[in-house]
Amino acid sequence: MGVAAALVTMSALILLTGVLLVEAREVLDWRFFLDPPSRVAAEGGVGPAVAGSLWLTFLVAAIAVPLGVGTAVYLAEYAPPTRLVKAVESVLTNLAGVPSVVYGIAGLALFVRGLGLGPSILAGALTLTALTVPLVVVNCRKALQAVPDEFRWAAFGLGASRWQVVRDQVLPAAAPALLAGCCAALLRAVGAAAPLLMLGAVSFTTFAPGSPNDPLTALPTQIFAWAARPREGFLALAAGASVALLLLMAAMHLVLFAHRRRQKGTWS
Amino acid sequence: MTATALSRGAGNPRSPGERFGKHVLFTCAALSALLGAAVIVVVALETVRFFGRVSPARFFGGLTWAPLAEEPGFGVLPLIAGTAQIAAGATFLALPVGLLTAVFLRYYAGGRTASVLNAVVTLLACIPAVVYGYFALNYVTPAIRSVWPGVEGFNGISACLVVGLMILPTIVLLSREALGAVPNSLLEEGVALGATRRRVLVRLVVPAAAVGIAGSVVMAAARAVGETMIVTLAAGNPTGPTWNPLEGVRTLTTFLAQASLGDIPTGSIEYGACFAVAAVLFLLTCGMHAAGRALMARGQRGTLGAVRL
């Protein structure tokens, strides 16, 4: 029984990736990754969407990761156990479970209309930041809590200050888990389609976004636009865009874990 | 820490480095809290404004949802029913496969099998929802229709199947965590008393982890409730309320996704309706997550009381 269930799980993944690759094989070439979408299915590409997703990844990583890690460190190592701090903790924990589409609608009111950014890359990045920060905080708090207290006591006992304990003992010990936690949160942000759709992302643009103020376009919304078209040629494009998105996520994973082998230290 | 660092007074709580670290971290926490509060406040404010025009009784008691009709209906119950239909179906499909995979992973799989299976589950968890949605609409639905021609192009079955696949990793990973809280001695003692391994697992170990497993199921169901792209692509958005899973389903999330929000003027009644629906979604998933977390925490403390031979 257990073997059968495991096989179902495995075959689902194989089927999914197999279907994507077979369907996308006609469109996958260098031109596809660089060209803009076209009314003629055979000429379409994901150039602007790839550029948009790269912008979003870069901006979210630059804003949400430091913010989230800093918050987690403050909450885990510094914060006094006051009622306010506990409230902040519980709000962030709860926000981590809220569906992404809710962030989309909040982002529309806050950033697209409130700050008057319009449906731009920047508005998309800020919305995805709001979605990512709680996830980073929750994941990183777990990573910091997994560091044994003996590490802290030993360092305090040697006369280290709190900042020295955090910088020299806790952060290095938790680094692999922190990295994994940030990576998981970022991957979720890069794959999110619903919030960008709510902001009014465009799926038909002829030029790649060159600055954060350019119109919002990204791979997930591009996949959505093509997948919802029943006509034959666009299915291959949707599959190709899906492959592009999965490649981007794999690349992020590789970049983040390039140093993993060196960091493989454990404590018992 | 080196001697020079000590002599420079780096360990002094009043040293610049020390204060810098603390202030930067505090600022991060304050900004994160502010961002989270902004999201909650904006949804709450627009919802309150909406309730000023449509009474909560009409919203929670009405039976038709048609914000754009000439005689608009703002009853949210049909949307909640659609959401419940998809979430229940997906959880029902994912639970047996997920739980058995977790048991296999913890008690049967050897080193290499376990690491491959782990990687597969993690990869399934990483695949974006919109890719699952594409798969559901263009492959799962045609496959269902070839066996069962009565099914419509947009249908709840396909959505349930694929949402079930999407929440499978949640059930596997969290159930395995729940099983991890059951002491290994339980299995060893059961086997030593002469029961088969399988019998001990079915009668002792899984019941002992039941509370934690229930927690994992609630967490997975919460993810299914919030799933947007799969349901929108596979189940479409029919205008009337439907109860038939062979037809399209309308949920809280598909309404939001298809409201083409970018074009709705700020302050219009439909704009408010979107926020009210988002607030319902928010409270629903928060409540389910809190319940799931509580169950998982209770499972970690161990509840052998549930075990009966």
Chain B residue whose CA is closest to A107 = B39
Angle among Cα A91, A92, A94 to the nearest 5 degrees reads 65
Number of compact structural domains in chain B: 1
Contact status, residue B61 vs residue B75, Cβ threshold 8 Å? yes
Number of compact structural domains in chain A: 1
Residue B156 lies in a domain: yes
Rounding to the nearest 10 degrees, give the CA dihedral for residues A28, A31, A37, A39: -90
The H-assigned helical ranges of B54-183 are 56-61, 77-107, 111-126, 129-135, 141-147, 156-180
CA A27 to chain centre: 26
Report pLDDT for B4: 44
Residue A5 lies in a domain: no
Query: Which one of A93, A109, A191 has the shortest CB-CB distance to B46?
Result: A109
Asked if A12 lies within 8 A of B6 by C-beta distance, the reply is no
Chain B residue whose CA is closest to A89 = B33
Residue B51 lies in a domain: no
Chain B residue whose CA is closest to A87 = B33
Residue B40 lies in a domain: no
Contacts of B293 in chain A (CB under 8 A): 93
Residue A183 lies in a domain: yes
Query: Is A66's Cβ below 8 Å from some Cβ in B?
Result: yes
The SS3 of residue B7 is helix
pLDDT interval class at B89 (50, 70, 90): very high
Residue A9 lies in a domain: no
Instruction: Indicate whether A135 pLDDT > 70.
Output: yes
Measure A111 CA to nearest chain B CA, in Å.
11
Most A CBs within 10 A among B12, B22, B39, hence the mutation to make, goes to: B39
The SS3 of residue A91 is helix
Averaged pLDDT, A169-187: 90
CATH number at residue A256: 1.10.3720.10
DSSP conformational letter for A260: H
Q: Between the ranges A227-236, B9-18, B235-244, where is the mean pLDDT highest?
A: A227-236
Residue B212 lies in a domain: yes
Query: Which one of B13, B261, B286 has the shortest CB-CB distance to A161?
Result: B13
Q: Which of B93, B107, B91 is nearest to B206 (CA)?
A: B107
Cα A22 to Cα A40: distance, rounded to the nearest angstrom? 21
Query: Is A8's Cβ below 8 Å from some Cβ in B?
Result: yes
pLDDT interval class at B207 (50, 70, 90): confident
Query: In the numeric block, which tokens belong to residue A29?
Result: 């070439």
Query: Is A60's Cβ below 8 Å from some Cβ in B?
Result: no
Domain that holds residue A43: 27-263
Report pLDDT for B8: 46
Domain that holds residue B264: 65-306
Q: What is the interface pTM, i.e. ipTM, of the complex?
A: 0.89
Query: Which one of A94, A110, A134 has the shortest CB-CB distance to B42?
Result: A110
Sign of CA dihedral A22, A23, A26, A31: negative
> Percent of chain B at pLDDT above 70?
89
Query: Is A160's Cβ below 8 Å from some Cβ in B?
Result: yes
Residue A37 lies in a domain: yes
B145 contacts: CB under 8 Å, gap ≥ 6: B151, B153
CATH number at residue B108: 1.10.3720.10
Residue B56 lies in a domain: no
Asked if A194 lies within 8 A of B129 by C-beta distance, the reply is yes
Asked if A192 lies within 8 A of B139 by C-beta distance, the reply is no
| B41: phi then psi, degrees, rounded to nearest 5 | -65, -40
pLDDT interval class at A240 (50, 70, 90): confident
Query: Is A86's Cβ below 8 Å from some Cβ in B?
Result: no
Cα A222 to Cα A32: distance, rounded to the nearest angstrom? 13
Residue A42 lies in a domain: yes
Report pLDDT for B198: 87
Residue B14 lies in a domain: no
Place of tokens 């029919």: B238
Q: Which of A183, A192, A226, A190 is nearest to A104 (CA)?
A: A192
Residue A43: how many other CB atoms lie within 10 Å: 13
Cα B64 to Cα B78: distance, rounded to the nearest angstrom? 7
Q: At what angle do helices A83-95 and A121-145 cross, to 10 degrees?
A: 120
Residue B36 lies in a domain: no
- How confident is the model over B226-235, as pLDDT tens digits? 999 999 888 8
Report pLDDT for B144: 87
Report pLDDT for A72: 94
